[in-house]
Structure 1
């Protein structure tokens, strides 16, 4: 060592000093630094793990929230559809009820009008009957008893034409004035019909028009007057 110019004792002292410094540095600086770095690494790793867990929890929460929103949207749509259906049903029910009430009002109005017209025609019938009786009495030059007078009035309004006998099982009978039960029974007897509907038309003046399908027997006063007018002209 001396030949190389190296002092062995000094070198040994330096080695010992370096070792001591290294040990001191390891104990006082390097070891705490390594421990701090390891703790920092573990903290960072834990932070990353917590972040991943938080991200997963957030994703799950968003998924659950979206699922809830979708379910509520479906439920709301269902309620809307049910409400619309109920609303439409209620509207239909109200309209149908209003239609029924309107129909009932129209039917009642027609019935009232027909009853009022028939009452007025009944009064007119009595007056026309009196005129017919007076005319008959003037023609024959004598007064008529009540029975003959009633017969003249009945014939004027309800005389069944001979051609109407056995015209058909179902008839429509048109008269100038409303007919009573006895007069309707007489018409049924003379025509032999089973089903008869009655209609009032003051414009025929008197007599009866009897229809069965396309067959018509016109025994009205209006028709007879028209024939008379045609003959005269």
Structure 2
């Protein structure tokens, strides 16, 4: 474990961790992969989102899997690199930065994805039991109901509870709660569609869009 950072010098470390995490989280892997595959702009396909769920709607399961791995990996990488560099506090800050970067990427005019995979990857890095429990909850809800958005909402709402019972660490509970609030705030339209029974199911293909994205998951 790295030596603790003196609080006299903490803020430069934390700001650097936040900036690095944000820039790493801002990389829009779903958009990059679909363009490299010749599918065009994923923001003009299906729901218009850049994440794994919308990439899956193109019918390319390989690209969806790669997007999932890379989006979760950037959250985990940001947290782990910051931990190696400066310890637990920079790890938390960098993980938060990665999630914010995915939600509001500078490269895409601050219009990004829903942050589910990046949040789960961050939780796995910060506390693997909590992250694993959240991932298992996502997989279970997705398998039972076939709604990616519902799985995300349930798993992330449960993550602070997992943090409390599995770790008993108040800072971790607060961190998980903040990430859950961020992700929930990006799912307000999804919640409305779920209540109306209009939400798209996992793997449902979608035609290219001619108009602006409506920001489904």
Q: TM-score, normalised by structure 2?
A: 0.26
Q: Which has the higher strand share?
A: 1
Higher helix share: 1
Which one has a bigger Cα radius of gyration?
Answer: 1
| Greater relative contact order (Cα < 8 A, sep 6+) | 2
